[in-house]
């Protein structure tokens, strides 16, 4: 059974934590280097859009990329949790897109500046439907297929088994530095194959063979 966020009326979206450089082949395609600890950045809540809403390409960028990701919704306040207990903090899972203004990001990186503008623009965090995650859900979070297609052509196709930092490790790490709250979201990184999107494109993303799906148009 699938669940929409509206079926969790006691929750509101909180902080959006994002993990970079979490799939080896994506690190290679971006000519980056593997890190000892997770790379963490944030998106504002205003970047969230839902199924069938529109991605708005910003005037300040000419090169926006899709990055398909497993997204975890935190269901309870969490601080200093162990990896063994970390998944108990997850209420639901979804497929999401971490949209990135690659030209703005590259400029920021070269100048040693934060990536916030390139990652947090309006509509830059599309989210699909949520699927309940608990002991009864029988979901192996580290063995879920994840993919995105643009205009029917598959651009990214991977599996969460390829994550360098597994979800439990990410949650434990974040909770050792921040207090995670109910409604917080964690974008867990993207596999290889990121590419540019353009006005008029139709994007379809899926997690776990259509357990969670996302469909948005680009405007």
CA 194 vs. chain centroid, Å, equals 13
Classify domain 2-218 at the CATH topology level: Fumarylacetoacetate hydrolase; domain 2 (3.90.850)
DSSP state of 47: G
83: tokens are 């990896």
**φ, ψ for residue 113 (rounded to 5)?**
-105, 165
Question: 160 with 96: CB under 8 angstroms?
Answer: no
The CA-atom distances, in angstroms, between 9 and each of 3, 13, 27 are: 12, 11, 38
9: tokens are 């009326």
pTM of the predicted model as reported, rounded to 2 decimal places: 0.95
Least confident residue range of 1-5, 86-90, 172-176: 1-5
- Give the separation between CA 195 and CA 215, rounded to whole angstroms: 17
Per residue in 134-174, pLDDT tens? 766 789 999 999 999 999 999 999 999 999 999 999 999 99
**Beta strand 39-43 with 212-218: parallel, antiparallel or unpaired?**
unpaired
3-state secondary structure of 173: helix
Mean pLDDT calculated for residue range 201-205 = 98
Q: What percent of the chain has pLDDT over 70?
A: 95
Q: What pLDDT sits at residue 33?
A: 85
- Give the separation between CA 120 and CA 42, rounded to whole angstroms: 8
């Amino acid at each position: 059974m699938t669940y929409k966020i509206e079926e969790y009326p006691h929750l509101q979206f909180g902080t959006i934590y994002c993990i970079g450089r979490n799939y080896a082949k994506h690190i290679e395609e971006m000519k980056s280097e593997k890190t000892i600890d997770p790379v963490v950045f944030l998106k504002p809540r205003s970047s969230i859009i839902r199924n069938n809403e529109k991605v708005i390409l910003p005037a300040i960028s000419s090169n926006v990329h899709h990055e398909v990701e497993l997204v975890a919704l935190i269901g309870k306040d969490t601080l200093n949790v162990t990896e063994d207990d970390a998944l108990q903090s997850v209420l639901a899972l979804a497929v999401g897109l971490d949209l990135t203004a690659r030209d703005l990001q590259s400029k920021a990186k070269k100048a040693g500046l934060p990536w916030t503008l390139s990652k947090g623009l309006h509509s830059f965090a599309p989210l699909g439907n949520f699927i309940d995650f608990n002991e009864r859900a029988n979901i192996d979070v580290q063995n879920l297929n994840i993919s995105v297609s643009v205009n029917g052509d598959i651009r990214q196709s991977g599996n969460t088994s390829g994550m360098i930092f597994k979800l439990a490790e990410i949650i434990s790490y974040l909770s050792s530095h921040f207090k995670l709250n109910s409604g917080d979201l964690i974008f867990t990184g993207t596999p290889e194959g990121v590419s540019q999107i353009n006005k008029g494109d139709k994007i379809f993303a899926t997690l776990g063979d259509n357990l969670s799906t996302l469909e948005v148009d680009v405007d």
